Amino acid sequence: MKITVVGLGKIGLPLAVQFASKGHHVIGADVNPAVVEQVNAGREPFPGEAQLAEKLAELVPAGNLEATTDTAAAVAQSEAVVVVVPLFVDADGIPDFGWMTSATQDIARGLKPGTLVSYETTLPVGTTRGRWKPMLEDGSGLTEGTDFHLVFSPERVLTGRVFADLRKYPKLIGGLSPEGAARATEFYEAVLDFDERPDLPRGNGVWDLGAAEAAELAKLAETTYRDVNIGLANQFGRFAAANGIDVYQVIEASNSQPYSHIHRPGIAVGGHCIPVYPRLYLWTDPEATVVRAAREANAAMPVYTVGLAQGAVGDLTGKKVAVLGAAYRGGVKETAFSGIFPTVDALREHGAQVAVHDPMYSDDELAGFGWDAYHLGDEADVVILQADHAQYKELGAGDFPGVQAVIDGRRVLDPARFEGVTFRMVGTAA
């Protein structure tokens, strides 16, 4: 097949590489000329994705993968189009479809009869049918279900391990017609491989959920569940700490029974997915009070964690505070909705002198966010761990001369390494 992947970001580019690795000819379309140039040179435009550099270096010279800024021209050559363009959400939870609308208009200009179009970007329920279908029809003059087929098939992978996740999890699809669903099933079976999963009721592979709306809701449901679960764990953690209880022992005990799956509390919920998708769900279901309460509970955790530092050392005015981790999670060079932002803001509001450390970011990159860089071995009054980078596990009091208090927001540090230092962990008593 000839396939176009629209959007060569941290999900789209690995998808394009996966499709090309199965012997298909893939054109990656992106509005960023620098990304296109790097892909055509066989180089990864961003670090941290396992196996991506090696696969690019093999597939581009072999002619299986190329990139372009001309989306319409790429679509005009293709039998299948997969869309992985970002959808943004503002502070009020309102989705901004700007980039996706522009991409969809470009796709429509190149759309030809017989093409399958699959949206993988996470969407509010009803968007595929209610927004993209009429836009594609109006822009192409073609009729969905007759001239071309449109489906929704959510990406379900984590950056850093995309290729492994593509094999591990069922590929969900939802069409606007049975014919479209059949085309999508045939397509994804031709471009993906699946690990054996005897634990799944249907077995691993392509799962047709019967309608685009069901597939849209499935992605929102699985990610919103995580946010709600973490929100519950955070509320348990705050209560436990206030009452002299170790919430981690409570969670371990509760989860020893098969009907309990409580997640862990922490300083923040970050990334492109968990803080965002519950807002997309709330946009279509504003009466979802449980979802709203969980989102509010999680958003309040950075300020709560800074409060733990205040409780440990008193007034933070003038105190040197080192925050460990700019990334939203360990091992990933990405700050999307990272807890670093509200944590630094809260510390500054209390008059602290804040510096940020992250092994994946240079001093200049940290300065670009408006932060002073902290280096291990520099003096610090307070240390707050925000991201669970593996490099932090072996740190101890000697790495932070003068430290009076350590607040572990991710249960990463070993309290035994901080003898003589006030040590607090989110979810446990003082």
Domains along the chain?
2-210 (3.40.50.720), 220-299 (1.10.1040.10), 301-425 (3.40.50.720)
Confidence of residue 429 (pLDDT cuts 50, 70, 90): confident
Confidence of residue 257 (pLDDT cuts 50, 70, 90): very high
Say what the pLDDT of residue 430 is. Answer: 65
CB 338 within 8 A of CB 358: no
Predicted confidence (pLDDT) per residue in 61-116, tens digit? 999 999 999 999 999 999 999 999 999 888 778 999 999 999 999 999 999 999 99
Percent of all residues in the chain with a pLDDT value above 90, rounded to a whole number: 95
Quick one: DSSP state of residue 18? H
pLDDT at 370 over 80: yes
Helix (H) or strand (E) holding 425, with range, is strand 422-425
Distance CA 183, CA 70 (A): 25
Distance CA 301, CA 409 (A): 9
Residues 6+ positions from 366 with CB-CB distance below 8 Å:
326, 356, 358, 372, 373
Confidence of residue 241 (pLDDT cuts 50, 70, 90): very high
Say what the pLDDT of residue 48 is. Answer: 85
Distance CA 246, CA 277 (A): 30
Q: With the CA atoms of 208, 81, 158 and 269 taken in that order, what torsion angle do they form, in degrees rounded to the nearest 10?
A: -90
CB 3 within 8 A of CB 80: yes
Distance CA 51, CA 261 (A): 32
Predicted confidence (pLDDT) per residue in 377-409, tens digit? 999 999 999 999 999 999 999 999 999 999 999
Please state, in angstroms and as integers, the Cα–Cα distance from residue 55 to each residue in 28, 40, 299, following that order.
Answer: 15, 13, 38
Distance CA 120, CA 84 (A): 5
Instruction: Tell me the two tokens of residue 8.
Output: 């060569």
pTM to 2 decimal places? 0.92
In total, the chain counts a number of residues equal to: 430
Report the SS3 class of residue 186: helix
User: What's the mean per-residue pLDDT of the chain?
Assistant: 96
Confidence of residue 192 (pLDDT cuts 50, 70, 90): very high
Confidence of residue 197 (pLDDT cuts 50, 70, 90): very high
- DSSP secondary structure letters along 352-378: -EEEEE-TTS-HHHHHHTT-EEP-TTS
Say what the pLDDT of residue 24 is. Answer: 98
Say what the pLDDT of residue 408 is. Answer: 98
Report the SS3 class of residue 60: coil
- Return the ∠ at Cα 9 (arms to 92 and 85), rounded to 5°: 50
Predicted confidence (pLDDT) per residue in 269-293, tens digit? 998 899 999 999 999 999 999 999 9
